[in-house]
Structures are given as C-alpha cells and as structure tokens.
Structure 1
Amino acid sequence: MTLLSKRVIQQIDASRPLEASLWGWRCFQIGLFLLPSSALLASLLLFPSLLMGSWRSGRPFWSDPWNAPLFLASLLMVIGCFSSYSGSLAWVGMGNWLPFFWAFWGFQPYVSSADARRRSALWLVAGSFPVVLTGLGQLWWGWQGPWQVLGGLIIWFMTPGGEPEGRLSGLFDYANIAAAWLALVWPFALATLIQPGLSKLRRGVVLALVVAFVTALVLTESRNGWGALVLALPIVLGPPSWPWLVPLLVVGLGLLFVSVVPGVPLLLQDPARSLLPEGIWGRLSDSQHAGERVLASTRLSQWGVAVQLIAERPWLGWGAAAFSVIYPLRTGQWHGHAHNLPLELAIAHGLPVALLISALVLALLIVALRRGLSRLFDRAWWAAVLTLMVLHCTDLPFFDSRVNIAGWILLAGLRCLIRPVRERSLDSALGVDA
C-alpha cells in the first residue's frame, strides 16, 4: 500500500464514532460522497453500512421512544394498503417510507457525534460539486446527455439549456429537484466556508466553490431554493451576526416584498424593482406567466382538492399515488402529487399517519433548538432539516431518492444531536490526531 493510499484511508477513518464499525463508517462516507451523483452507486455502499449500523446499534429499534411514531405509522400504512383506492400502487408506494423508517434508526451510529456529523456534512458538500459543475456546463457551455457509465447501468439524461428550458437542473431530472438538493446542502457549504482554522489558500478555494454553489442555486430559478439561501444565513452564522445581518435582511426582503406584491403603488414599486435584478422579481411575481395558468393548475386548487379527499377518507387514506389518479378526474388537469407533504401523507395514508410523521420532525427541531446549537455544524445541520421541512410545504422533492435518503440521514443526526452521547471519536479514544 502506497503512502498516499494510507493517508487517504487515515482521512476516511478519522472522526469515526465509537458506535460505528470501521467498514460501515467507510461505506457510509463514500456513499454520502456519491449520493448527489447516483442513488444507485450510493445505495451499494449505504445499504451495507445500514446493515452494519443496525447490527452495531446500542439499543433495539423499539427501545427508543422517538421510533414509536414511525412504528405506529408503519402499522397504519400497511393496514390502509388492504383497502386502498390505488390498488397495487399503494404497496409500491410503501418503498418511499418503510425502508427509511429503518434508516432513521440504522444510520444513527454514523452521525452520533459532533465530529461525525461535521464529517458527513463535508462529504455531502464535496459530493455536490458534480451537480454544480454539470449544471453550469449545461447552461453556459451547452453540455448535454445522455451520459452513461457501467455499460449503461447508470445514465444521466442532461438536457441542454436545463429542464425546464433556461433553468439549471444538472444531474437531476428537474430544476426544482436540483434546487432542493442544493438548498439542503447550502447550510453545510456556508459552515464549511466560515469554519475557523482554514488557511488563506483553503479558504480562498472554498470561497470560489461556494460562489459557484450559490450561482447554481440561483440559476435553478426555484423560488423555494432562493428562499433557502436566505433562511439558512441567520441560523448558520448564529446570534453574533444578527445585529448587522437582520437589518440587512429586513431591508432586502422589504424591497422584494414591495417589488412583487400586487397593488403596491407604482411610485414605490418601480424604484424597488430598479434596485433588484428583473429575473428575481419577475420570477417571484410570476409576471411572465400572468393570465396563462388556469385555476386547476395552481397550488391552491391542488390543496383544495387534497382537503376534500382527506375529508372523504380521513383515517387510512386512499393509498399511495391516489392523488395522481383522482385529481385529473375531478379537475381535468394532471398533477403527480399534492405539493405539500402533510397533505400528501394524509391523502395516501390518512390523517393519523400525517400527524405522526409531521409531529416527529417538528419535535426533533424544537427539542434540538431548546437544547442549544452552540456548534457551527450542528446549527448547519438543524438549518438543513428546517430547510427540507419548509421545502416540503409547497413541493415534494422527497420523491427523488437522493433527497429522500439525505433527508432521513439528517433526521437521524438530529435525533443523535439531542441525545447525550460520548462526543469523542474513536481517534481521540486511541490518542490519534484526526
């Protein structure tokens, strides 16, 4: 083994939590790095790490009270499948949930310490730059797919000019999904830039990469993605930044509000718009699409139909994918989901399931916040979970397996953050400098 390969292995093994097996830790980290590029390649490593993490877990699944809502939700989901409107689709749709309930518990050994969560965050950031690079290449240099590896086992269908046209999508199928991924990684990228201890050269390199990262997120033209850029700033930077950051955000968001809200006098709106890029206020006000969209294609219509469906079958729901079947019958427009996760859960599996899972996520966020977020990367971790929660209020990026996997790993880390654990890594226990 060469000196270089030994050094690489030492870096990969650094910060391993006491609860994690050596090979499980290695597979988990490399899987995180590959996740943005390929769910298949990442799963080939993350699944073995999940098995090893489950084997090495210090407590059985049923002994942790935080798993109880997921266990109860699983039972209700399975019962509902027997009387579902969507038939076999209901059973297929369970793949979006039941394996990830297990992952929430099984991945916890790999994110059980602050050092491990920081290392995991850095792997997600590093693995996301192929998304940034291909997205910029797609828009600026005309890159296009399909690109394939392993004899066509993995294919990236990359549309020249973005999907939709003019919006960055990179290695993802659609710009909004690319934005969701970049948004959940953005708090970690920001934390990487401002962390203490970096040399001037390294900080300069990280700054260049973060600028490219923000540029890519802006070019997705996702309003949710733009909001995530702002949302993470005060959380990651922390209270010391608030005296100067909050006034800046208030002024900036105030100008944005004046420039996009209908009914504001032109005497105020025109100057506000002159201070902002037209692409931003135009996209937020939907001025380029005004009058073109019928009511049935809007979020409000989808949510209205969703509430009706929930009222008709509130306890066990209609079954997974039922919304995509029923909505066209009632409106004449097709949409694959309700663009709101609690509503989608309630339609598919009933109100009790929606309340159990939503309450679990909210409780994790609230308890973690009350415990305090003194560490930089723990604040970033909390911000990433909050960002995902907000994104799922108006869209459902979790249908992309990469976002779904990352989301449950983030929730696992948040569970570990609020549990008193031994915060030292295996390296520190052995007296090794990580």
Structure 2
Amino acid sequence: MKSLLSSPRSRSNDLQWVENFLKFGVFLFPFSATIGGVGLVIALFSLWQQRFHQIISERFTWSLGVFSLWLVITTFFAFQPILALQGLPNFLPGILLLAAFPIFFANLYRLYQFAWWVVLTSILLSGLGFMQLGWGWESPLLFRSIGINLLAYGNPDGRMSSFLMYANTLAIYLLISFLLAIGLWIDIYRHRQEKHKGEMIGKLTILSLAVVGDGLGLIFTNSRSVWGLALLGVMAFAVYLRRYWVIYLTVIAVGMVVWAAWAPWGQGTMRELIPAYFWTRLTDELYDDRYVTALRTTQWRVAREMILEQPLLGWGLRNFTPVYQTEMNVWMGHPHNLFLMLFAEIGIPGTLLFCGIVGNVIFQGVRNLVQWSNKQEKRREHLLLFTYLISFCSCILFNLFDVTLFDVRVNLLGWFLLSAIAGMIEVKR
C-alpha cells in the first residue's frame, strides 16, 4: 500500500494550481497581507470551483452555514450594526476556508508540506524581528502602502513584532511554527535511515534553526501566555516521546523563575541567578503603571455584564469596544478572551454552536490519534496529527488571554490548522 505521505501529484493533479497559489500565499502572507492574500484568495476560490458539489454535500459545511447565518442575524440586531457588519470579515473567509480545505488536506503529504511552508516563513520572520529590535530596521513608507510594515524597535516599543501588527500577534504565529518545527524535526530524525545523509542533515539543520530562532523570538515578544504555552508544548512532545527528563528540567526551570518572582524566602538569591527580564515580566514590574481599565479582569467583568444583559443574540460583532468605552470611558479593542467576547457579541447559542463545530473536529482528531497509536504503519501520520493538534490547541489556549481574530494573518493560520485536522479525519474515512 502506498504511504499517505507520498506525493499527491499522481492522485489529484486538478488541485496542483490550488497547491501552488496556497504556497505563494503562505510564504508572503506574514509579510504582506495584501500580496499574500491574493494567492490565498485564488487558492480558495479555485478549490471551491473545482470541488463545489463535494463541499456543499458535507454535513460539516451545512453546520458552518448555520453558524454563518447566525452571525448575519446577530448583525441586524446589533447595538451598532455597522460595526457588526465590519466584524463579519473576521469570520466568513475562515468559514469558507474551513468548509473547503479539509478536501485539500485529505492527503497527508500536503499537511507535511504546509507545515514546512509555515516553518520556513517563520525563520525569515523571526530573523527580521531580531534586526528590528537590535538595529532598528523598519520598512520604507512606500512598502507600507501594500501592507509591508516593519516598525523600528517593535510594537509596543522594545517587544519584537516583526511584520505583524503587535508583539502578541507575532508571539502566537511563532508559537505555532515553533511547535510545527519540533514535530517535523522529530519526524526527520526518526526516519533518518530512510533518507540520504546529506538531505537528512540539511533538513535537520533548517529545522534546528527554526526551533532556536522561533524560541528566541518567543522570548523577545515578551508574551507571558506564549512563554507558558511554549513550555506546555515542549512537555507535550516530551510525554509523547516518553522523554520525562525534559519535563523535570522544565519544571525546575519554571520553579526557579516563579521562586524569583514571588517566593517569600530566598528570593534575593534567586533574583541574582535568574535574569530580571523573566521575573519582572511575571510580576508585572516592567509595566507597573497600568490603569484599572487596562486590566484583563476589568475587561472580563464588563464582558460578563454584557452577556447577562443580552444572552440570546448578544450585542453584535466588534460591539465590545463601544460598550466598554461607554462604561469605562476608555477605548479597548477586545476583552482579551475570545470566548467571553463571542458570548457577549453573538450570544450564548451562537457561541455554543461555534464551540461545538470546533470541538467536534478536535474530538475526531483525538479519536484518530488514539486509534492510530498502536499501528506501526501509521507512525508518521500519528506524529503529524499530534503536532497539528498541539499547535491548534495552543492557539485555543492563547485565546483565553487574548484574541487572534483581528490580525488576518494569524486568524487564517488558525483556520488552516483546524482544516488540516479535519482533513485527517477525511483520510481516516
């Protein structure tokens, strides 16, 4: 039987154009949403055109259609309908993508290739981020008109943001590519006997560069939540490989930083050992001038009040901002929790429907993972599925403390990860 990781060219040459434009889009999208977006739009519409009847015949597509209809209905009844209408593009392209791309990703070779594209892009993205922080590199004004926006010394100042809109946005992008790179590295190393030595060394070198570069980039984004998620991801791979010593070392390292940050005794000694960059960020001593209105707890309280006042249809997409401004007299783009935001903006039924759709894909993916766990012939597929699940679940956990919807590059990357997992379900069938 031919491996599912073999090239798909002989199986579905009709999707070669989709693959080419997708590759073009994925490579350029982080640097310019305008230019890269052209490739992704062409790939998406080409896939819909070629597989329209297959796509609309799936029950999964109809569930996405019901959710889309719910979003439209809530727009009509929104607190500020114009804002809600502007919020639809944060969802509808991803929904179209999620309906179509499981068909494309039903061949695991393409999943393998997609992970490589993201990882290779991240090397350049993090590299230019180091130039941004260290030497104040920035993009010329002419380039900014087409979305190529590199700000000197990051956004906010002193935190790496590279070409993305904010440091936290870059952080989640690098976290995803960091975890994908680890999964690919493990796969190449496991099957090193099957490859030419030069090819194997070359791939491991590139992936090692990606893991180190992305890891350092994560540190310089100064995102506490992503630091924690990266460590959880590393420990998840350690459990997968039964390398429990990695977990012990990670716990010791985290314990030392926590000790330096909050322990009532021996704190001075630990603070001499641990760089202040880490423990001052944990204690928020780097940003000790925050107003109450800038705290997540304040934002979450307002979001909960919105849910209680409009539990059925919500206030409408993007309407947290005007409500928060009315309540607190401060502009705030979102409540730093995707699920609270959705409950407040599209109501409880719509949010539960969305969570049900996403949760079902994850459940099916985990079920496949369990079923493949004892099948030697599925060893590579098992690792690839595990890698995608860890990457997407990290994205979900990140959205408990932030919202990735508002940067189209990270937003669509999340939809692609979910499509990839759904595609593996199609492989199983």
What interval of TM-score do these two structures reach, taking the shorter chain for normalisation? 0.7 to 0.9
Q: Residue 179 of structure 1 contacts residue 220 of structure 1 at CA under 8 Å; is this kept in 2?
A: yes
Label 1:17 to 1:162 Cα distance change in 2 as closer, same or farther (>3 A).
Answer: farther
Name the aligned partner's letter for residue 256 of structure 2.
L
Count of matched residue pairs: 404
Name the aligned partner's letter for residue 281 of structure 2.
R
Label 1:370 to 1:109 Cα distance change in 2 as closer, same or farther (>3 A).
Answer: closer
Q: Distance in 2 between matches of 1:420 and 1:181?
A: 27
Q: Deviations over 1:379-404 (max 9, x none)?
A: 22111101110111110122100011
Percentage identity across paired residues of the two chains = 28
**Matching of residues 185-196 of structure 1 within 5 Å:** 185-194=177-186, 195-196=188-189
Match of 1:54 among 32, 48, 60: 48
Q: Deviations over 1:258-277 (max 9, x none)?
A: 3334xx3133x334434422
1:139 equivalent to 2:133? Answer: yes
Q: Residue 70 of structure 1 contacts residue 101 of structure 1 at CA under 8 Å; is this kept in 2?
A: yes
Shift of 1:205: 4.1
Q: Which residue of 2 aligns with 1:429?
A: none
Name the aligned partner's letter for residue 36 of structure 2.
A
Shift of 1:176: 1.0
Q: Distance in 2 between matches of 1:200 and 1:222?
A: 32
Q: Distance in 1 between matches of 2:233 and 2:253?
A: 15
**Matching of residues 66-105 of structure 1 within 5 Å:** 66-105=60-99
- Bigger share in helix: 2
Q: Distance in 2 between matches of 1:155 and 1:354?
A: 32
Q: Which residue of 1 aligns with 2:284?
A: 286
Q: Which residue of 1 aligns with 2:223?
A: 222
**Matching of residues 94-133 of structure 1 within 5 Å:** 94-133=88-127
Label 1:16 to 1:42 Cα distance change in 2 as closer, same or farther (>3 A).
Answer: farther
Q: Which residue of 1 aligns with 2:417?
A: 410
Shift of 1:202: 4.0
Aligned Cα root-mean-square deviation (Å): 2.3
Shift of 1:53: 1.7
Q: Distance in 2 between matches of 1:173 and 1:401?
A: 10
Which range moves more in the overlay, 140-149 or 33-42? 140-149
Q: Which residue of 1 aligns with 2:195?
A: none
What TM-score, normalized by structure 2, do the two folds share? Answer: 0.87
Q: Residue 343 of structure 1 contacts residue 354 of structure 1 at CA under 8 Å; is this kept in 2?
A: no
Q: Deviations over 1:339-365 (max 9, x none)?
A: 111111122211111111123223322
Q: Which residue of 2 aligns with 1:316?
A: 313
Label 1:310 to 1:46 Cα distance change in 2 as closer, same or farther (>3 A).
Answer: same
Q: Which residue of 1 aligns with 2:397?
A: 390
1:354 equivalent to 2:351? Answer: yes
Label 1:42 to 1:236 Cα distance change in 2 as closer, same or farther (>3 A).
Answer: farther
Shift of 1:238: 5.1
Q: Which residue of 1 aligns with 2:257?
A: 256
Residue aligned with 1:355, SS: helix
What TM-score, normalized by structure 1, do the two folds share? Answer: 0.86
Shift of 1:166: 1.0
